[in-house]
Amino acid sequence: MSESPVIVWFTHDLRLADNAALVKAVETCRPILPVYILDDETPGDWAMGGATRWWLEQSLHALDTAIAEKGGRLCLRRGGSLDVLKALAGETAAHAIYFSRNHAPWSGKLEQDIASWCRENGIECKRFAGYLLHDPENIRTGAGDPYKVYTPFSKACFATEPFREPRAVPDNMQFWLGGIAKDDIADWKLYDGKPDWASQFAERWTPGEAGARDKLERFIAEAVGDYKDDRDRPDLFATSRLSPHLHFGEISPHQCWHATRHAMADGRRNVDRGAEHFLKELLWREFSYHLLHHWPDLMSEPFRPEFADFPWSDDDDALNAWQRGDTGYPIVDAGMRELWATGWMHNRVRMIAASFLIKDLLVPWQRGEAWFWDTLVDADIGSNSASWQWVAGCGADAAPYFRIFNPVLQGEKFDPDGAYVRRWVPELKRLPPAFIHKPWEAPALVLKDAGVVLGKTYPKPMVDHGKARDAALAAYQKIRKSA
Ligand SMILES: Cc1cc2nc3c(=O)[nH]c(=O)nc-3n(C[C@H](O)[C@H](O)[C@H](O)COP(=O)(O)OP(=O)(O)OC[C@H]3O[C@@H](n4cnc5c(N)ncnc54)[C@H](O)[C@@H]3O)c2cc1C
């Protein structure tokens, strides 16, 4: 019988570097049993969506390979996390259970239950930070309240620098190699490829720690300097595309922060402006989790309660056209098709597409949130719910409801040549830039030359934006009067 192991329970920290739970487990000089649990007991509608299940499968393969290179194996089990940990602790006579803290509203209770059970059974239990830069409890206003506004929140975060060095991968890991049952990931059927709707994901993404590191390095080397100027341009490689890697914890926010600060300290020309802005964007992720921590209903209930009475028009046909990318507004359709094909959408286009659903079609923001939950590879309870509420105007520090994105002007401003639309809406690709964002205004001859027949090869606009805007503002007046 081998020595009692420390169970290292991997959750949203699918990496070996900068992983405090792993480092501290190695420091005990006991063998380690790395474990991942597919927990089917996630409450409500928040079980993993299709795109994140695709990612998880790849990411677990990558983690298992990285652990195997160090001489161990990742133990996979399915079931309620507490029950599985109890069983594993019994089967291995575990000395301890170490894990990284999670920030879903239900995680705190689960983690407390695990700690209590460990205490009662003489097993050491330790929980470590790492998913966020700051503990959401620790960032408070002068009056001791949670923040509701991003700018002072971000200033408070900047004020608590310097940040620590990321932790290296421990080089002396010993693994517990006793014989216990392990699940085969194929049996979990996370993604069965029938139909193979995610066939393009693998061309775009390399899930796992190495893929995350490459993304960060490439972004810092090639794009961070121009980030402030270009980050709103979906037609350029101007943002990091780190969001799914951060969501699964294949890279920590500390590693991203540290690499950015390093590039700034290196004194490379023109890096500072863009890099500083990138740090601020990382703090939007922190702000989302700060809000979720203090307002755990954020995923389903409007932060501003008067929006509970908003007169939505819950139209399934409208929702379906938006989901398919068939609204007749090219920038919206390009975004929705990029999302379907790649599991990701550029932030500016997320804002435009979400605004269109909520304000032009008056579909409740929760339905858009649910679609993103299912289709985004970075679907994340903190960032997704806070962002949808932000666009809907019902969130903390949200854009005012009456600021309604005009999809044509947004397209012309942020995709000036139409390259992004041409890529994702190829039936419009021969339209000249002057009409690419408003094909219905193109003269008949221009449409004919471009091979576009509105209503046939590409839809006519499903609503008139001007009228839809008026209807949205009228709907908003109703809740303003009742507030
Ligand atoms: C309607 C809507 C839904 C969204 N849903 C999600 C989601 O489910 N998961 C998710 O990670 N992001 C979400 N976002 C935020 C943002 O769009 C993505 O984080 C960003 O597009 C990811 O691309 P990137 O990694 O290239 O970002 P970069 O611009 O390179 O930013 C770096 C990192 O900062 C964080 N970040 C940047 N912008 C934001 C933001 N506005 N809010 C929170 N974090 C941010 C992300 O972790 C991102 O990876 C949503 C935004 C909108 C408008």
pLDDT in tens, 399-456: 788 889 999 999 999 999 999 999 999 999 999 999 999 999 999 999 999 999 999 9
Same structural domain, 113 and 145: no
The answer to whether the beta carbons of residues 123 and 97 sit under 8 Å apart is: yes
Pick from 12, 377, 372: which is nearest to 203 by CA?
377
Query: d(Cα 20, Cα 255) in Å, to the nearest integer?
Result: 13
pLDDT average, residue stretch 377-393 = 97
Both 237 and 328 in one domain: the answer is no
The pTM for the full model equals 0.97
Q: Are residues 253 and 148 in the same domain?
A: yes
Task: Say whether 132 sits in a helix, a strand or coil.
Answer: coil
For the segment 169-188, the average pLDDT, to the nearest whole number, is: 94
Q: Is the peptide bond before 195 cis (omega within 30 degrees of 0)?
A: yes
**379 close to ligand 1 (CB < 6 Angstrom):** yes
Q: What's the 346 CA to ligand 1 centre distance in angstroms?
A: 8
Q: What pLDDT is attached to residue 480?
A: 77
- Asked if 135 and 45 count as a contact pair (C-beta separation under 8 A), the reply is no
Confirm or reject: Cβ of 231 under 6 Å from ligand 1. yes
Count up the domains in the chain and report the number.
3
pLDDT, tens digit (0-9, with 9 covering 90-100), for 289-343: 999 999 999 999 999 999 999 999 989 999 999 999 999 999 999 999 999 999 9
Q: Identify the residue whose tokens are 């006793």.
A: 178
Separation CA 290–CA 282 (nearest Å): 13
Task: Inform me whether the pLDDT recorded for 252 exceeds 50.
Answer: yes
Mean pLDDT value of segment 387-393: 96
Q: How far apart are the CA of 181 and the centre of ligand 1, in A?
A: 38
CB-neighbour burial class of residue 207 (10 A; exposed 0-12, middle 13-18, buried 19+):
buried
CA-proximal residue: ligand 1, atom 16 (nearest) = 347
pLDDT for the residue 282 = 97
| 168-171 contact pairs (CB < 8 A, 24+) | 168/17, 169/16, 169/17, 170/16, 170/22, 170/23, 170/26
One domain, residues 346 and 478: yes
Determine the Cα angle at 346 with ends 268 and 209, to 5°.
65
473 domain residue, yes or no? yes
Domain's final residue, options 80, 108, 130: 130
215 lines ligand 1 (CB under 6 A): no
pLDDT given at position 44:
73
Domain boundary among 262, 294, 326: 294
Identify the CA nearest to 358 among candidates 297, 326, 403. Answer: 403
Q: Is residue 216 part of a domain?
A: yes
Separation CA 44–CA 34 (nearest Å)? 28
Task: Compute CA distances 456 → 130, 453, 459, whole Å.
Answer: 51, 5, 6
**Residues designated as active site:** 281, 284, 312, 347, 365, 388
Alpha-carbon Rg of the chain, whole angstroms?
A: 24
**Does residue 355 line the site of ligand 1, with CB under 6 A?**
no
Q: Ligand 1 mean position to 349 CA, how many Å?
A: 11
Residue 381 lies in a domain: yes
In the predicted structure, residue 483 carries a pLDDT above the cut 70: no
pLDDT given for residue 102 in this prediction: 96
Q: Are residues 394 and 472 in the same domain?
A: yes
Does 353 share its domain with 440? yes
pLDDT band at 481 (very low <50, low <70, confident <90, very high): low
Residue 75, classed as helix, strand or coil, is strand
Q: Determine the pLDDT at residue 1.
A: 43
Whether 157 maps to a domain, the answer reads yes
The range of the structural domain enclosing residue 45 comes to 6-130
71-108 burial: b if 16+ Cβ within 10 Å, else e:
ebebbbbeeebbebbbebbeebebbbbbbbbbbbbebe
> Which CATH number do you get for residue 117?
3.40.50.620
- Give burial (CB, 10 Å; 0-12/13-18/19+) of 242: buried
- % of the chain residues with pLDDT over 70: 98
Residues 94, 161: one domain? no
**Do the Cβ atoms of 102 and 381 come closer than 8 Å?**
no
pLDDT of residue 269: 62
Mean pLDDT computed over 262-281? 87
User: Is 172 inside a domain boundary?
Assistant: no
Name the CA dihedral angle for 17, 226, 158, 11, rounded to a multiple of 10 degrees.
Answer: -30
Residue 462 forms part of a structural domain: yes
**30 CA → ligand 1 middle, Å:** 39
408: CATH: 1.10.579.10
Q: Which of 109, 130, 151 is the endpoint of a domain? A: 130
Both structure tokens of 248? 């699964």
DSSP label at residue 20: H
Do 124 and 11 fall within a single domain? yes
Residue in 281, 346, 356 to alter for ligand 1 test, most ligand atoms within 8 A of Cβ: 281
CATH number, domain of 141, equals: 1.25.40.80
User: Atom 5 of ligand 1 has which residue's CA nearest to it?
Assistant: 384
Asked, for residue 237, whether it belongs to a domain, the answer is yes
Task: Tell whether 314 and 418 lie within a shared domain.
Answer: yes
Whether 398 shows a pLDDT value over 80: the answer reads no
User: According to the model, what pLDDT value does residue 257 have?
Assistant: 96
pLDDT at 268: 67
- Please give the average per-residue pLDDT across 157-186, as a whole number: 91
482 pLDDT above the threshold of 70: no
Q: Domain check: are 257 and 326 in the same one?
A: no
Whether the Cβ atoms of residue 279 and residue 162 lie closer than 8 Å to each other: no
Separation of 336 CA from ligand 1 center, angstroms?
A: 16
The verdict on 338 and 274 lying in the same domain is no
Residue identifier of the C-alpha nearest atom 51 of ligand 1: 387
Ligand 1 site, residue 351, Cβ cutoff 6 A:
yes
What stretches of 96-148 show up as alpha helix (H) in DSSP?
107-120
Judge whether 241 lies within some domain.
Answer: yes
Which of 139-143, 163-167, 390-394 shows the lowest per-residue confidence on average (mean pLDDT)? 163-167
Residue 2 has pLDDT above 90, yes or no: no
Ligand 1: which of 383, 384, 389 to mutate, most ligand atoms within 8 Å of CB?
383
- Ligand 1 center from residue 132 Cα (angstroms): 14
Q: Whose CA is nearest to atom 53 of ligand 1?
A: 351
Is 407 in contact with 332 (CB distance < 8 Å)? yes
In ligand 1, which atom is closest to the CA atom of 353?
Answer: 1
Q: How far apart are the first and last CA of the chain?
A: 67
Average pLDDT over every residue of 84-91: 98
Residues 266 and 352 in one domain: no
pLDDT band for position 45 (50/70/90)? confident
